[in-house]
Chains A and B, each alone.
Chain A
């Protein structure tokens, strides 16, 4: 599984990428939407893990752009929102039920990544 982690909190995604690597996941990370759109030009990813709130282009808009370029790519959102209820509207707009609230447990992320890869239709 090749995963792209996108969050303007680069220390977060850098650490997360290392922890995922320990678990056999090939994870790259970038600090924003513009870098993500560049990275996918040179490397194929099965899944993108996106922060919802990022400068200029947020995760929901980034998902739309990536999906237009790579329809097979799957998505998980990370959010700092305090409750799942808070995020429901945004996730519905993005067409995805796959999201996790920060701080995230690595086991929960691994489980969600496996789920999203198995439910190819739901995240589109």
Chain B
């Protein structure tokens, strides 16, 4: 399969799913703002008819609106970062930033499947040279498959560490490591391989530090 085919299949699916999830959450934030505005209207109308309106109540409603505006702002910021992840063909990616964005983008998807995502603190900075969107695509595919499993843990931990010449993204705890996510296309794009650590119940994605130094040139 050519890179174009892989991007068409995997990349567009990822982009569509993440965009749909973000837009759904934005709708919810707007709906809550809308209800708080409506409640303010109701209360002010009742106040005009003689029912007392406590200032504390107004403060609570204002705080509700402010909280939802912040939520929507964060969603849009994440969506914008994700959209721009396709811009650079080659970029030095800080995996803590990449995983942090991935956790934010996929938190609703995880919640829909009854789970949560937790980004573990990094012991040291981990950087690789790759196309940022491909890494987001890889993480999305892994999360999608791992969280779909009936025996999936409620909380999935994400982390990354450096090894000589490579970086390792980890997902844990994962049971049934005899079966790993079936994602050959995107693994091939990143020249990555999957590994497992049964003792620590960890799925590992091993990525070369610079995929462009190891990529073959005729795969396009």
Which one of A12, A53, A54 contacts B31 once the chains associate, using CB atoms below 8 Å?
A12
Residue ID in chain B nearest A9 by CB atoms: B28
What's the interface size class on A, roughly?
20 to 34
User: Measured between alpha carbons, how far is A105 from B32 in the docked complex, in Å?
Assistant: 12
Please judge, given known A-B contacts A11-B64, A15-B36, A82-B23, whether A104 and B46 are in contact too, CB under 8 Å: no
Which one of B28, B35, B68, B112 contacts A80 once the chains associate, using CB atoms below 8 Å?
B28
Give the number of chain B interface residues (Cβ < 8 Å).
Answer: 22
Query: Is B111 a contact partner of A15 (Cβ separation < 8 A)?
Result: no
Query: Is A102 a contact partner of B31 (Cβ separation < 8 A)?
Result: yes
Tell me the chain A residues, 1-56 only, with Cβ under 8 Å from chain B. 8-9, 11-12, 15-16, 18-19, 22, 53-56
Which one of B31, B36, B46 contacts A9 once the chains associate, using CB atoms below 8 Å?
B31
User: Measured between alpha carbons, how far is A3 from B46 in the docked complex, in Å?
Assistant: 23
Tell me the chain B residues, 39-95 only, with Cβ under 8 Å from chain A. 39, 42, 46, 64, 68
Q: B184 within 8 Å of A by Cβ?
A: no
Q: B182 within 8 Å of A by Cβ?
A: no
Q: A106 within 8 Å of B by Cβ?
A: yes
User: Measured between alpha carbons, how far is A82 from B36 in the docked complex, in Å?
Assistant: 21
Residue ID in chain A nearest B35 by CB atoms: A15
Q: B149 within 8 Å of A by Cβ?
A: no
Which one of A22, A54, A56, A104 contacts B42 once the chains associate, using CB atoms below 8 Å?
A22
Residue ID in chain B nearest A11 by CB atoms: B32
Tell me the chain A residues, 92-124 only, with Cβ under 8 Å from chain B. 102-106
User: Measured between alpha carbons, how far is A115 from B47 in the docked complex, in Å?
Assistant: 31
In the complex, which residues of chain A have a beta carbon less than 8 angstroms from the beta carbon of B111?
Answer: 8, 55
Residue ID in chain A nearest B111 by CB atoms: A55
What's the nearest-Cβ distance from chain B to residue A18, in Å? 6
Query: Is A103 a contact partner of B112 (Cβ separation < 8 A)?
Result: no
In the complex, which residues of chain A have a beta carbon less than 8 angstroms from the beta carbon of B114?
Answer: 55-56
Q: B27 within 8 Å of A by Cβ?
A: yes
What's the nearest-Cβ distance from chain A to residue B55, in Å? 18
Most chain A beta-carbon contacts within 10 A, residue among B31, B36, B46: B31
Q: B188 within 8 Å of A by Cβ?
A: no
What's the nearest-Cβ distance from chain B to residue A49, in Å? 13
User: Measured between alpha carbons, how far is A103 from B24 in the docked complex, in Å?
Assistant: 11
User: Measured between alpha carbons, how far is A65 from B25 in the docked complex, in Å?
Assistant: 26
User: Measured between alpha carbons, how far is A17 from B164 in the docked complex, in Å?
Assistant: 58
Query: Is B35 a contact partner of A16 (Cβ separation < 8 A)?
Result: yes
Q: B38 within 8 Å of A by Cβ?
A: yes
Which one of A8, A55, A103 contacts B34 once the chains associate, using CB atoms below 8 Å?
A103
Q: B30 within 8 Å of A by Cβ?
A: yes
Contacts A80-B24, A80-B28, A82-B27 aside, 6 further interface pairs with beta carbons under 8 A come to A11-B64, A15-B64, A19-B42, A80-B23, A82-B23, A102-B31
Which of B's residues lie within 8 Å of A, judged by CB? 23-25, 27-28, 30-36, 38-39, 42, 46, 64, 68, 111-114
